[in-house]
Amino acid sequence: MAPVIEINGLSKVYVRDVIGFENGRLRVRLKDRRTVALKPLDLTVEEGEIFGLLGPNGAGKTTAIKILMGLHFPTSGDARIMGRPLEDNSVKAKIGFLPENPFFYDYLKGEEFLDYYGQLYGMDKASRRRRIPELLETVGLSHAAQLPLRGYSKGMLQRAGLAQALLNDPKVVFLDEPQSGLDPFGRKEVRDLILSLREQGKTVFFSSHILQDAEMICDRVAILHQGERIAVGALSEMLSAKVKEYEVGFSDVPKEIVEKTKKGAARFVERPNEYLAVFDKEDEARAAVRAILDANGMLESFIARKETLEEYFIREIEGKREAERAALANGGKS
Amino acid sequence: MAGKIAAIALNTFKEAVRNRVLYVLLFFSVVIMLGAWVASTLSIDDETKIVRDLGAGAINFIALLIAVFVGIGLVYNDLDKKTIYTIISKPISRWHFLVGKYLGLLLTIAVNVLFMTWIFCAVLYLRGYLAGDVMYEALYFVDDEGYLNYRGVFAHLFYLVWSAVKALVFGLLHVVMFGMEGVLGIPGAAATQGLFMTSVLTILEMAIITAFAVLFSSFSSPTLSAFMTVIVFIIGRLNQELYLFADTMVQRAGGMEALGGGQVVAYYFSVVAAHLSPNLAVFNQRRELAEFQDIQLGVMDISYGIAYTAMILTIAAIVFNRRNFK
Ligand SMILES: Nc1ncnc2c1ncn2[C@@H]1O[C@H](COP(=O)(O)OP(=O)(O)OP(=O)(O)O)[C@@H](O)[C@H]1O
Ligand SMILES: [Mg+2]
């Protein structure tokens, strides 16, 4: 089956105007006019996937999404959604889009706003009447339907933005930082919402730098750093292939067992009559557990800790930065 | 497609109606109209002429300010606050957005011009009813014994209120009857003759100016857009004078060859500007209005306005189609 989203060598270089306003002041700029926001990017997203585009601030996530939404034109490369080019209105009819920090006409009431956007989707009056209360309920804004958007909090606006992205019952949903501005409950609700979208067979493409949230719901992710794709794949593969740790927590054991365990452990944390040993290898950990039990000690916990996305992320990006620094230093010498 | 463009236009109208600038401008227009009334009482010339001239001028001027400030503001807001993101990603083309925005602005201007026309007609009627001789006739009567009697303060007040109500009703009639309320035999209707047509001309003129406002704000900053739109308005108004200026210069010098370097530049600048700019002179018939002559609105003028507007909007759409939204 053809991928829902195909991105081929998409890149973007921003070139600032020679004369332009910067921070409200007119300035002439001759040097440093180019910003490489996205290096040639290849990605495919399959139907029914939740795909996470991850990366630190300024990595190029928003740039990629803006190009996909036809708001920016790529410097090179192209992309297709459901097999058709981006500017095709038949494609736009089947997608939903939530920009980062969305802003809407703030003089409109929640309901009026969705009604207007429904008209832009070409929905008739009857289906708007049916769909809008339903959606307000889904995003938890039923109580604010008659309130002008001017009176919405940041999180409420984010929810309104989600509602407008789902108006047309889209096949593919693009969400740029859907959880920004939301409290922990809101974030959980958005996670659940994204999962329920997948259950309905929709494809979700979203960007985030909140890794825990991404980790919980993504089928696959791509990691961007300084415009470059440094990793892509199924989360399960990406993380489980990496080093695992084994955590053994215990108490009430004789001194010599503590000493023995401490010697074998990669890391060891000691509190009064409470110990935590971390092992790199499984058999070492098992041996330690056996020793503790044999000595009639108390086994508090035995956890095979997988690497979190955050650790992976930091390691990969730190590695990149290290390599850059080294390259820079070499360049300086020669 | 038409439905979506209409939705954008109506939303733009909604947005404009909630814009405070609009009300400031409308208030300002009423102040000018009342000012014109006061000024006319101080003049020795034909008073009505002056009031009509100033009032129609005020409507035209305020309409220009609405086109420039409200028009540019509304397009710029969408780009600046990024509302455009979620609109352009809906199944509409970029030019739908632009045309919808334009039509919404034009609707706003038309409604406001007609509103100002109503108020101005009411001012003219009221002015007639409060004119010395008319009012004294209503407030004083000669009794059987031949004495002059004042009907009293209450009658006076009643007369004022009643005049205001009549003025507002007849002024509204002027607008909804396309300036033909005179056929009903309304007293004082002569004063408003030709105002409706003048306002229609103003709306046509603003149709062109608003297209420029939309064009400029599709690629440049609001301040620059406002500046350029006003320049277009001025050059458009001076359109005929520019040709005249170029001709006169050549005649004075005695032929093209005799022109000096600076003069050649001035000559070509005037001719090119005159050719490119819209000929707004056809929409400005305030002299005819002041003289109570017929206001001319030919099919040619309307076609010219529509064709010119379509051209500018097409250019705007081409520019808009190519831009990245920041
Ligand atoms: N309109 C623009 N003009 C010039 N440079 C830009 C523009 N938009 C973004 N950039 C630059 O492109 C790079 C990528 O920005 P982008 O907004 O795509 O990052 P991001 O991954 O979405 O970051 P964040 O997590 O902060 O939202 C940044 O270095 C930014 O400075
Ligand atoms: Mg971003």
Residue A117: the pLDDT is 94
- Which among A202, A180, A235 has a CA at the least distance from the CA of A82? A202
Question: Closest Cα to residue B87, out of A144, A126, A167, A181?
Answer: A167
Contacts of B19 by beta carbon, 8 Å cutoff, 6+ apart: B70, B73, B74
Which of the listed residues A16, A61, A176 should we mutate to test ligand 1's pocket, taking the one with most ligand atoms within 8 A of CB?
A61
Name the residue of chain A whose CA is nearest to B2's CA.
A122
A9 touches chain B (CB under 8 A): no
HSE-up (13 A, CA, CB side) for residue B132: 1
Q: How many C-beta atoms surround the C-beta of residue A311 within 10 A?
A: 15
Q: How far is CA B156 from the centre of its chain?
A: 36
Domain span holding position B12: 2-322
What percentage of chain A exceeds 90 in pLDDT? 44
A19 interface with B at CB cutoff 8 Å: no
Count Cβ–Cβ pairs < 8 Å, chain A vs chain B.
74
pLDDT band at B230 (very low <50, low <70, confident <90, very high): very high
pTM higher than 0.90 = no
Over residues A187-220, the pLDDT tens digits come to: 888 888 999 999 999 999 999 887 777 888 899 9
Cα first-last separation, chain A: 51
- Contacting residues of B for A167, CB less than 8 Å apart: none
- Burial label, B249 (beta-carbon count in 10 A; 0-12, 13-18, 19+): middle
Domains of chain A: 5-238 (3.40.50.300), 243-306 (3.30.70)
Give the residues across from A248 on adjacent strands: A277, A302
Convert the pLDDT of each residue in B158-195 to its tens digit. Answer: 888 998 998 999 899 888 989 888 888 788 777 888 88
Note the maximum CA span of chain B: 87
Express as a percent the part of chain A with pLDDT over 70.
96
Q: Which residue among B7, B93, B221 places its CB closest to the CB of A116?
A: B7
Which residue's CA is the closest to the ligand 1 atom numbered 26? Answer: A57
List the end-to-end C-alpha distance of chain B, in Å, as a whole number.
26
What pLDDT was estimated at residue A334?
45
- Beta-carbon count within 10 A of B238 CB: 18
Q: Is B83 on the interface with A (CB under 8 A)?
A: yes
Contacts (Cβ under 8 Å, ≥6 apart) of A165: A96, A97, A98, A173, A174, A175, B86
Chain A hits for B7, CB-CB cut-off 8 Å, are 116, 119-120
Is the pLDDT at A3 greater than 70, yes or no?
yes
The mean pLDDT value for A306-312 works out to: 74
Q: What is the pLDDT of residue B85?
A: 92
CB neighbours of B146 closer than 8 A, spacing ≥ 6? none
Q: Please tell me the distance between residue A58's alpha carbon and the centre of ligand 1 in angstroms.
A: 5
pLDDT (average), residues B297-316: 91
What CA–CA distance (Å, rounded) separates A195 from A216? 10
Alpha carbon of A73: minimum distance to chain B alpha carbons (Å): 6
Ion ligand 2: residue ranges with CB closer than 5 A: A 61-62, 100
Of A120, A169, A171, A173, which to mutate for an interface test with B (greatest number of B Cβ within 10 Å)?
A120
Q: Which atom of ligand 1 is nearest to the CA of A56?
A: 25
Q: What is the pLDDT of residues A101-142, one digit of tens each?
A: 888 998 999 999 999 999 999 999 999 999 999 999 999 899
Domain count, chain B: 1
- B287 interfaces chain A, CB cutoff of 8 Å: no
**Residue A47 contacts residue A1 (beta carbons within 8 Å):** yes
Tell me how far CA of residue B107 lies from CA of A18, B12, B14, B113, B155, in angstroms.
Answer: 38, 9, 10, 10, 42
Q: CB of A97 within 8 Å of any CB in chain B?
A: yes
B58-72, B134-148, B207-221: the lowest-pLDDT one: B134-148
Check whether A250 has a pLDDT greater than 80: yes
* String of DSSP letters for B173-190: HHHHTTT-GGGGT-TTGG
Q: Does the structure show a pLDDT above 80 at A317? A: no
